[in-house]
Structure 1
Amino acid sequence: MTVKEGDPIWEGDEAFRNSSNPARFMDWLRQERGLDFSSYEAMLDWSTDEIEAFWAAIWDYFGIISETPYDCVLQARTMPGASWFPGSRVNYAEHILRREGDHPDRTVFHHLSETRPLAEMTWGDLGTKVRILATRLRERGVGPGDRVVSYMPNVPETIIAMLATTGIGAVWSSAAPEFGVKTVADRFSQIEPKVLFAADGYRFGGRDFVRLAEIEEIAAGLPSLETIVWLDYLGNRERPKTQAEIVAWDEMTGGEPVAAEDFRYERVAHDHPLWILFSSGTTGLPKAIVHSHVGIIVEHYKTAAFHLNLKPHSCMFFYSTTGWVMWNSLLWGPLMGGRVALYDGSPTYPGPDLLWKLAADVGATSFGASPTFVENMRKQGIVPNARYDLSKLENVFLAGSPSTPETFVWLQQAVKQDLWITSQSGGTEFCSGIVGGAPMLPVRAGEIQSRCLAVDVRVLDDEGKELIGEVGEMVIAKPMPSMPIFMWGDEDFSRYRESYFDVYPGLWRHGDFMLINERGGCYVHGRSDSTLNRFGVRIGSAEIYRTLEKVDGVLDSLIVCIEEPGGGYYMPLFVQLREGHALDEALTGEIRARLRGERSPRHVPDEVIAVPAIPYTLTGKKMEVPVRKLLMGWPAEKAYSPDAMQNRQSMDWFIDFARRRSEGGAGMYQSLTRR
């Protein structure tokens, strides 16, 4: 089956569309607000034009619990500094657990790991554990505004710790246990935590990774730390040597239960911090991004309901570690009264189709993963529906990188024919989506269906002119509730402004190149600071990668374009070859011919170079920007952080290549710093 980018491949039938959450919301708007929209697109336009009216409707539609009424929806349409629902007092954890009393014996979590068999947790068990732990934290003097951090795997204990922390108004932050010491220290040292939740290690691909030494070093660098709550995840009874008091997880969550009616959630002001997320940390000190309770509550209701179509019967799964923003989104399922499946371990161990088996075993209705994961399934010839019953699956949610038409087609053929495939793109900055799924609209191969509701996203050229059907800079023209309220330690908002508002005053510049076509379909073309700018013509690296996926001998690839000191450009293509293949004239010629034929002459690289491996960040992104900086002459220590990498040794080749290439003259970095 040959499908071109943008070809229609699916549309829900009338029953599916009419029963979708957006359709029900449109009915409610008609009855309660007197707003009669002729189409989803009409409601979308209203939501981006009248953001105050839209978010007021979200507040009422989902019945947001507030101790006090809000004074107004939005004080002013300013960025940064927009103030949402001032006067309200809310709590995020209370909204997650509000369904507990309705069905305490129903399952809320399925959880599987390489160390534990598949098991379940009920709403009642979750609520009880959260209340006990929250009470123990209060007894230790933890209160509103105190920071509590985690170095734990994706297991129920970590979710419980997060809900207990946020339930008492303390501020949560998480790092994955595979992160190196420097990566964790760069994050946690900025926010001075009082409590650390830590596991003794994790298992990945059948191998145990004990983290005692790392935890000792992390704790030693946190003078504010008073308590470590210790989880024996691998069964290692040894404890780290630290000045902080160590308390066992079972001690903090055991004992007499705390009844729901005897527990008080800390309802906090509209601008009270909920959690702190960090930028990838590929270069420089990671940005400590702070979200509010109220902003995340309303944004997550909107996204879970209208862009994933989650309902009380739904079971959401998304493969994520605790160090990725998607982990903070896993509770979309319980937020809507449904279930969530957690998995900790390798997605391909002991077999490459493990996650599909998990989806079948738990009856997942929404399956989430990166396009890279799905593409690897396709290349390996795996056919999940030949082995597993995936009849309950309603949608696949792709995030993390651009998707290809081939990925969409494979999902229909190998997973389920009647499948709503939604590719979405957002960011750590919002803990939500910018462009994403719309169950009332058709699906087109490789295309993101629509702008998200109430997100005024536009595409601009260098002069600030809006573009339709052309690649340009992604900007957001109006505030969103889940935009960061501030960055920790950035008292004067200078880093905030420099990060997002230095190019287009008054507009959020997200750092991605994007195309929105005339029908509203969206394509994200990668980070704008790593996008290929060759003689003034912008080329998305995703275009290169999509073509190379069809070349048999190429396993992986990375492309950059750098400006030379003399005004020229250099665009090398680095390829990791499959076993048994060599980069001979025939393969190089095929690569060049395909790029020239499928893309344009400007897409043909100056050189094709074989490398041992392609470097990736811990969150699975190709390290285009660090490689580009190395080739521009940046010192390695300024170009990237080894602790932020999956495969540290892979960068050694690029460091050596950049050194050899620059021996004949100064790179761009040296040229700029000498001025």
Structure 2
Amino acid sequence: MFQIRHYQNWLRATRGLSFDNYDALWRWSVSDLDAFWQSIWDYFEVQSPTPHTAVLGRRAMPGAEWFPGAQGNYARQVFRHVAAAEAAGVPAILSQGEASLARGEAARQLGWAEMRRQSASLALHLKAQGVQPGDRVAAYLPNTPETMVAFLATVSLGAVWSVCAPDMGTPAVLDRFRQIAPKVLIACNGVHYGGRDMARDEAVAELVAALPSVTHVLVHEILPSSGLPAGRASFAQAVARNDAQVAAFEPLWLPFEHPLWIVYSSGTTGLPKPIVHGHGGVALVGLALLRLHNDLAPSHADPAHPERFHWYSSTGWIMWNVQAASLLNGTTCCIYDGNPAGTHKDQPDWTTLWRFVANTGATFFGAGAAFFANCMKAGIDIAQCGDLSRLRTLGTTGSPLSEDTQRWGTAQFAKIGNPNIWWCNISGGTDFAGAFIGGNRELPVVPGEMQCRILGCAVEAWNDKGESVVDEVGELVCTQPLPSMPLYFVGDKDKQRYLASYFDTYPGVWRHGDWLKVTRSGGCIIYGRSDATINRHGLRMGTSELYSAIEALPEVLDSMVVDLEYLGRESYMPLFVVLRPGYELDEAMKARLNQAVKTALSPRFVPNEIFAVPEIPRTLSGKKQELPIKKLLLGQPLEKVVNRDAMANPACLDWYVDFARRRAGTAPQA
């Protein structure tokens, strides 16, 4: 029986509530917020030493007050599973790095009791250094079990966690950490990525020198070291303690909305937004998402067929936080640290993650939509990637998944005897640490669509008049508060930046910045960012539809389009494409590209010009940087529209700067 059916049976037995279909269940969940979120609290048996006086003490956006009077701690919810998981013999974490996988080694296991012991040891170490509730602990760490331990130790004390990936440029890291004034820095001395070791000692020294608030530095030695610099402590020693105090340690009880972590917007323009979420809201939303919508049971519920959850991410993406949330649910977390395409004779190897999934026996495998598209274009055969018989779910996010890619993946699994592989495509964001749209095992799977709006998320598509529309593309809005919406932004006086980010268009209604269509059957399609919308000849369209048409051509590796609108003038829309080696952008190729747009969309959306480019600019989390390039080509200075240190491939900007110069006749200021 699927997990969402267990929940509905429980609602009928304990609340006398029965629903004819998912749409009716969803409508109840967003119209009676108090009853729905109380049911989530009770269904997951959330614990508090003090009762809450209401579910929603103040109903407002922003500024909603959830479960006033209640207490909790994210780490307490995780450690509730220790006894049952140890009795069942299921691990908390299975992990593997790029080099280990290449050598054919088994994944490393971290048990639940050992994870708790290490977290308690580190928490006591931090407490001895003066860390108090509300202090910030910054981490410069890769996606490894040690990072999970550091996170749990930090939040056990009520300190506030914030992590940046060590592949980020030092200026980008400082743009984030300077805003939050951390008391402690936990950093690695290096990482292994793309087949090579990369030292990070100099970067760590730069961070320490530029963060005067830091009073203590812990170093996780990943690469061989000749010793720690003076004044720095060993992470390995800090987690090694095993005595009566460690055994007796318990995470603090904290107010429901006590700050949990600080995450950041993409930072493509200006300083990133340091977004603060709370313990209780993140835990409740995470449990509902993973159990009910991702259909993940606790691993100890069925030790013979344990759940194992893998969502490929770096520590710089919100999916790291979703990955961590599997521990809230008692589900084994499978962590891969390294290049998702591996390396093979300097060429991408798109079988890498599939082999990791086979190696760990993962039951759920999620990644960015672009990963699956690259696998399709590379022509990989998953039958050659190991035993994937335990895998039953594929998850995607980050960008819209094309219908062609989803059909390809389904066909691949049909060939190995699993024609019913389930696609759990989700869309949400860093901003509220959750998903607005996602999966439901009981609903039909339609390639190119997401199955439903998430329970408790009052999501609608609104037209220009602020009216809810169905079967039309509109602005994605959320009309009711969610427990995991931000508490505040660090340093945001009177919440002015918070208001401007989500509520400037529709006061009191969250505007997310995506184009959404809700179908008559309740399915959802995301068309891309609404601020990168194409508006041609009176018709508007998200860019994802055009990308689906263009990137379906085997000659095209990547693409980007921007619509340059000028007041009182007809828009100009260039298309930038990255072609496979051996192909040229000649007239025949341009004709094929234009025909693809005409066929899939409309002649209205044929680009004005097409240009071959070396790369498409992307953020560290892989998103195309349409809006910054649009602003650049409209004449704004480069430094005002894009942060190079928040990019995955900043060198490619030179081409676009030169292009902007040639178009405008004057050079943008670089």
Aligned residue for 1:165, secondary structure, equals helix
TM-score if structure 1 supplies the norm length? 0.93
**CA offset at residue 568 of structure 1?**
2.5
- Residue in 2 that maps onto 1:441: 443
Match of residue 235 from structure 1:
224
| Matching of residues 206-225 of structure 1 within 5 Å | 206-225=195-214
**1:284-334, CA deviations, whole angstroms, 9 ceiling, x for partnerless residues?**
110011000010111011001111010122100011000100001113332
Question: Map of 1:45-194 to 2, 5 A cutoff?
Answer: 45-104=27-86, 105-116=89-100, 117=105, 118-194=107-183
SS in 2 for 1:389: coil
Q: Give 3-state SS (helix, strand or coil) of 1:602's partner.
A: helix
Report whether the alignment pairs 1:21 with 2:19.
no
2:648 equivalent to 1:646: yes
Q: How many Å apart are 1:567 and its aligned residue?
A: 2.9
User: Which of 74-83 and 158-167 deviates more?
Assistant: 74-83
C-alpha deviation, 1:237, in angstroms: 3.1
Q: Could you say what secondary structure the match of 1:593 adopts?
A: helix
Distance between the aligned counterparts of 1:387 and 1:276, measured in 2? 37
Structure-to-structure mapping, 1:479-490, within 5 angstroms: 479-490=481-492
Matches within 5 A, 1:493-572: 493-572=495-574
What's 1:3 paired with? none
In structure 2, relative to structure 1, the CA distance for the partners of 1:636 and 1:251 (3 Å cut) is same
**Are 1:459 and 1:468, in contact at CA under 8 Å, matched by a contact in 2?**
yes
Residue among 193, 208, 231 paired with 1:204: 193
> Given the alignment of the two structures, is residue 266 of structure 1 paired with residue 275 of structure 2, yes or no?
no
TM-score (norm 2): 0.94
> What corresponds to 2:575 in structure 1?
573
Q: Which amino acid aligns with 1:292?
A: G
Distance 2:243 2:617 in 1: 48
Aligned to 2:342: 349
Q: Distance in 1 between matches of 2:464 and 2:64?
A: 26
Conservation of the 8 A alpha-carbon contact between 1:317 and 1:366? yes
Any gaps of 5 or more consecutive residues in structure 1? 1-18, 670-675
Partner amino acid, structure 1, of 2:374: N
Q: Displacement of 1:258 after TM fit?
A: 4.9
Distance 1:164 1:544 in 2: 46
Of the three residues 21, 24, 28, the one matched with 1:42 is 24
2:316 maps to which residue?
323
- Aligned match of 2:600: 598
User: Post-superposition shift, 1:553?
Assistant: 2.3
Q: 1:290 aligns with which of 243, 255, 276?
A: 276
Q: Cα deviations across residues 545-604 of structure 1 (Å, max 9, x unaligned)? A: 101122232221110001124432111001111111111111101111111122012210
Cα distance in 1 for partners of 2:556, 2:507 equals 42
1:16 aligns with: none
d(CA) in 2 for partners of 1:636, 1:31? 60
- Which residue of structure 1 aligns with residue 302 of structure 2? none
CA separation in 2, counterparts of 1:261 and 1:65? 21
Shift of 1:371: 1.2
In structure 2, C-alpha distance between the alignment counterparts of 1:38 and 1:406, rounded to whole Å:
33
Report the secondary structure of 1:132's partner residue: helix
- 1:33 equivalent in alignment to 2:20: no
Q: Which residue of 2 aligns with 1:620?
A: 622
Taking structure 1 as reference, are residues 261 and 247 closer, same or farther at Cα in structure 2, changes over 3 Å only? closer
1:212-235: CA deviation from partner (whole Å, max 9, x where unpaired)? 111111111111001111011012
Report the secondary structure of 2:650's partner residue: coil
User: What aligned pairs does 1:650-661 form with structure 2 within 5 A after superposition?
Assistant: 650-661=652-663
SS at match of 2:19: coil
Query: Offset at 1:381?
Result: 1.2
Native 8 Å contact 2:187 2:219 kept in 1: yes
Q: Distance in 1 between matches of 2:246 and 2:649?
A: 46
Letter of the aligned partner of 2:392 in structure 1?
Answer: E
Q: Is the 8 A contact 1:128 1:258 kept in 2?
A: no
SS of 1:254's partner is coil
**1:501 Cα deviation after fit:** 0.4
* C-alpha contact (below 8 Å) 2:124/2:246 kept by paired residues: no
On the 8 A contact 2:463/2:475 being kept in 1, the answer is yes
CA deviation profile, 1:428-451 (whole Å, cap 9, x unmatched): 011110000011111001100000
For 1:277, which of 263, 275, 282 is the aligned residue?
263
SS of equivalent to 2:76: helix
The whole-number CA distance in structure 1 between the counterparts of 2:115 and 2:389 is 28
1:459–1:466 contact (8 Å) kept in structure 2:
yes
CA contact (8 A) 2:563 2:572 kept: yes
Secondary structure at the counterpart of residue 371 of structure 2: helix
Partner of 1:256: 242
- Out of 430, 449, 454, the residue aligned to residue 452 of structure 1 is 454
Contact persistence 1:213–1:240 (CA under 8 A): no
Q: For 1:623-664, what per-residue CA distance to the aligned partner results, in whole angstroms no more than 9, with x for missing partners?
A: 111110100111010110110111111111001111111117
- Counterpart for residue 11 of structure 1: none
2:386 alignment partner in structure 1: 388
- Which residue of 273, 287, 292 corresponds with 1:306? 292
Tell me how many residue pairs correspond in the alignment.
646
Name the SS of the counterpart of 2:192 in structure 1: strand
Query: For residues 323-366 of structure 1, what are the alpha-carbon distances to aligned partners after superposition, in whole Å with 9 as ceiling and x for unaligned?
Result: 10000111333222221110111112244312111111211110
Give the percent of matched residue pairs that are identical in Structure 1 and Structure 2.
42
* Cα separation, 2, equivalents of 1:93 and 1:129: 13
> What's the CA shift for 1:240?
5.6
RMSD of Structure 2 on Structure 1 (CA): 1.6
- Structure 2: 5+ residue stretches without partners: 299-305, 344-348
Q: 2:364 aligns with which of 363, 366, 387?
A: 366
Deviation at 1:97, TM superposition (A): 1.3
SS at match of 2:508: coil
Amino acid at match of 1:371: A
